[in-house]
Amino acid sequence: MKMRRFVSMLLTGVMALSIAGCGSTSAPASSDAGTDTNATAAATEAPAETTTDTATATTDSGEQIDLTMWCIATESDSNRHAYEAAIADMQAAHPEVNFTWEAFENQSYKTKIKAAVSANELPDIFFTWSCAFLGDFVDAGKVYCLDDAYQNYKDELPEVMLGNTTYNGKHYGVPTTMNIVGLFANMDLLKEAGYDEIPGTYDEFIACCDALKAKGIIPFGCAGKETWCVTEYLESVIEKSAGADTLNDIFLGRATWNNQDVADAVDTFQALVTNGYFDPSGIGLTNDEVKNNFMAGKYAFYMNGTWNCADFAANEEFFPKVRVSEFPVINADKAKLGQLIGGPSDTLAVSASSPNAEKAADYAFELGKLICHYGYLDGCGLPAWTPYGDTSSVNELTKAVAEICSKADTYVLFGDTAMNADSANTYLSYVDQVYGCLLDGKQFIEGLSKDIQ
């Protein structure tokens, strides 16, 4: 009973999402039901045919096909187990598919996948980030359109979840999990400073940081060597100061960066840095190192993606100490609770050049569903697909994240995913300089509005 309430709660959350589409190529957010049904109706005829085709092809010929997949679920990735389990299930269910897969380290993968796109050497199925990252490949016509295949899965995969991988009204990606930025706290350390709960207002939160500092505990850990970790903090501060819509408009290019609210928010963030709330050695560390420091009790707070729930849950000693919460509201006039950073980003896509694209598309959907299922059970994120089966084993932390999402009002996708590659990197380089206090809020907005057109 308890479980059902939980699932339905989750679903309401999901349905309430107003995930914006991305970039100029995307259709206006797919919340407009009228146009959607039209499009689906128009498309149903063709897919009906293709599905029967696929069915006959698999049954009567039983012919072996090869499918390859590239992803970033390396040994150290928290999604590794979900991928392994999902792939094992798929291999058992589809003996006619000779499936091979390779995992690469995150940073090298970005290099590889782009080189592969330029050379038309994409594998049949590949992992990608949604929005702009995939958008560039879609623009170049390298990605197979999944509209037909989606018809078979639309009952299990809500269409709102495809918002970030929809370009010109066509679907190109299979989302697996969705994640938001969470404020993780080590309750043992908070208790030392006299707090039993994660403070709910910004003033209390700052008071808590001061109390921690007075006790000699570093409030925040943040990996300066990987700028996206800094954005997890900065974007939350901007969103909770200037409001989700403002930030969304800027990320999607509907408004310029030249916005005084953003400048003030950046100054607020920088005050956190200059007040010494951040670990000074963090600047020379990678995210893995910072995360391990957090688990070892070096920091009170750690703001990062909720995919970390899996790693925290796997650490028996640490897990009882950690709680997750939403970043408090800084300016209640413009922002409110329920405005979150995140959304479905991890995506599987099918290469347009794949000789078996049609089958690969079906395979990608089934595989995505299983990865989502196992990933959810492991705590790697919230499911983009409707959960099924027994989900009572999901860890408390992930359930807490689901609770936060169920009250969600607006989602703003991670800035470096929402923007195109060039702008995203310009943005990251400015964020880097803000973190290093080389620029203040005013210089930040002026520089960005000049360098990003």
User: What is the distance of C-alpha 341 from the center of its chain?
Assistant: 9
- Percentages helix, strand, coil for the chain (3-state, rounded to 5) are 50, 15, 35
Tell me whether residue 123 or residue 375 sits nearer to another protein (CB atom): 123
Rounded to the nearest whole angstrom, what is the least distance from the CB of residue 73 to another protein in the complex?
12
Q: Smallest gap, in angstroms, from Cβ of residue 154 to another protein?
A: 30
Q: Structure tokens of 446?
A: 């002026």
Give whichever of 384 and 424 is closer to another protein, judged by the CB atom.
Answer: 424
Lay out the sheet containing 346-350: strands in order across.
Answer: 97-103, 65-71, 125-129, 346-350, 174-175
Closer Cβ to another protein, 17 or 439, answer by number: 439
Closer residue to another protein (CB): 104 or 319: 104
Cβ atoms of 411 and 130 within 8 Å: the answer is no
Residue 429 and residue 452: Cα distance in Å, rounded? 12
The β-bridge relationship of strands 97-103 and 65-71 is parallel
CB of 437 to another protein, least distance (A): 10
Distance set, CA 303 to CA 3, 58, 103, 107, 379 (Å): 28, 47, 26, 21, 17
Mode of pairing for the β-strands spanning 174-175 and 346-350: antiparallel
Nearest to another protein of 35, 425 (CB atom): 425
CB of 100 to another protein, least distance (A): 8
Candidates 178, 145, 147, 180; CA nearest to 161 is 178
Query: Tokens at residue 65, please?
Result: 């096909």
Cβ contact 356:67 at 8 Å: yes
CB 139 within 8 A of CB 117: no
Kindly report the number of other CB atoms within 10 A of residue 390's CB atom: 9
Torsion from C-alpha of 395, 177, 126, 117, nearest 10 degrees: -130
User: How far apart are CB 431 and another protein at their closest, in Å?
Assistant: 10
CB of 330 to another protein, least distance (A): 25
| C-beta closer to another protein: residue 195 or 307 | 307
Helix extents (H) in 193-286: 202-214, 227-242, 244-251, 260-274
Least distance CB 325 / another protein (angstroms)? 26
Round to whole Å and give the CA distance between 193 and 212.
5
Point out which residues bind another protein (CB under 8 A).
Answer: 70, 74-76, 100, 102, 104-106, 108, 110-112, 114-121, 123, 136-137, 139-142, 224-227, 280-286, 288-289, 292-293, 420-422, 425-426, 429-430, 432-433, 435-436, 438, 447, 451
The residue assigned the tokens 């269409």 is 159
Roughly how many angstroms between the first and final C-alpha of the chain, as a whole number? 52
Nearer Cβ to another protein (78/241): 78
Q: Which is nearer to another protein, 37 or 168 (CB)?
A: 168
Nearer to another protein, 285 or 361 (CB): 285
Between CA 228 and CA 172 the distance in angstroms is 25
Of 192, 225, 166, 188, the residue nearest 30 (C-alpha)? 166
Q: Supply the minimum distance, in Å, between the C-beta of residue 305 and another protein.
A: 17
In the complex, the smallest distance separating the C-beta of residue 364 from another protein, rounded to whole angstroms, is 18
Q: Which is nearer to another protein, 102 or 156 (CB)?
A: 102
Q: Which is nearer to another protein, 59 or 453 (CB)?
A: 453
* Owner of token pair 């899965």: 153
**Shortest distance, position 453 Cβ to another protein, whole Å:** 12
Q: Taking the complex as a whole, how short is the minimal distance between the CB of residue 130 and another protein, in angstroms?
A: 16
